[in-house]
Amino acid sequence: MKFAQFLLKNGSVAGIPKQVERFSKFSPSPLSMKQFIDFGSANACEKTSFVFLRQELPVRLANIMKEIDFLPDKLLGTPSLKLLTSWYSQSLLELVDFLEKDPDDKNVLTNFTQTLVNIRNRHNNVVPTMAQGVVEYKEAFGVDPVTNQNVQYFLDRFYMSRISTRMLMNQHTLIFDGSVNPAHPKHIGSIDPTCNVVEVIRDAYESSKLLCEQYYLTSPDMEITEVNSKNPEQPLHIVYVPSHLYHMLFELFKNAMRATVETHETSPTLPLIKVRVSLGTEDLTIKMSDRGGGVPLRKIEQLFSYMYSTAPSPVHADDSRNAPLAGFGYGLPISRLYAKYFQGDLQLCSMEGYGTSAVIYLKALSSESVERLPVFNKSALRHYQTSTEADDWCMPSKDPKKLGKYETTR
């Protein structure tokens, strides 16, 4: 096991590979938004949460740590990946330490909450650190189709796992730290039981507008249309995590504004960014349309690729040298993961030469908003063992064959 060998070689605690093996044999237990809400309501029990998390968090960490082993050796050997694996190892050991402790001891519960805060802080830079590792690998060794496919598959699962563990840790620390957020007194942890979707859209728009005007000295206006098929006269509310929705919308607005301003830089006015929000029986859908020139079809999937992105160093990034609307290059793929986390999706539909429409799908019912979690099993293993095979569709030839049986000479 490469990951185990790496840990031992680097003087890490020898028990880590054993704990990874132990906990990766369990499947994670996905929770629904309704379960999060019901559990975090007035009758929230810190002891119950502690007993669940001391088992569930190691299971989620161990499952994704098993998959790290299937990354290319040379990627695992980059300084960024070595740092990242040390964070995960340390966090796993700290959590396992609570397995035999008494849930009735108040000090144990207090220490557990503080440990979760420490782990969350330790993992703050996981995304840029992993991104930097990919950049280091690409610069040194280039990219081949098999590696590209495996890294894409892994990173979608790795970042989704991170979203889920942060969600669990945030819920516990926010609910049981003994204080209420004065700005959001009705929130249950990070969840808003009556999340005003249009309000979050306006917040994300205003933040993007500020950035756009700082860099381009102008920005496009926005037009919002609301459709509530359930209660036509009522505002659009769902049970959701506002910070997740904001993250997705902020990314889409940045992209739409940048494309619009750069496409129409010689025009006296900028076309509107049009946002339509619709609440149906099953879905809440947000469609954002711009007239930023669009992108060709062949590039759509690349926009969601980690290997095509160029992330700056998380340590040495100098924001003053980069366009603020360019970002890390991981914005779209990670925004799609936020949407998929509770069984939604994020899709792009582009008309090259005209503009792009981005659509966010969210579940309208909290009972159907269930966590989407990676699990390490034989199916996952097969993904890492696939090799490049010949395409089973004909490749178009640059010089079409002459199909005429008899050619006339002129």
- The answer to whether 70 and 3 are in contact (CB under 8 A) is no
Cβ neighbourhood burial of 351 (10 Å; 0-12, 13-18, 19+): middle
Extended beta strands in 192-267, E state: 192-196, 222-228, 237-240
- The answer to whether 175 and 44 are in contact (CB under 8 A) is yes
Asked if 254 is an active-site residue, the reply is yes
> What's the CA gap between 114 and 111, in Å, rounded?
5
- The answer to whether 160 and 373 are in contact (CB under 8 A) is yes
> What's the CA gap between 366 and 40, in Å, rounded?
14
Q: What is the largest CA-CA distance in the chain?
A: 98
Asked if 383 is an active-site residue, the reply is no
> What's the CA gap between 87 and 254, in Å, rounded?
31
Residue in 254, 274, 363, 371 annotated catalytic: 254
Residue in 251, 274, 363, 371 annotated catalytic: 251
Encoded tokens for 361: 């799908």
Residue in 170, 237, 255, 274 annotated catalytic: 255
Residue in 172, 187, 247, 274 annotated catalytic: 247
The residues assigned a catalytic role are 247, 251, 254-255
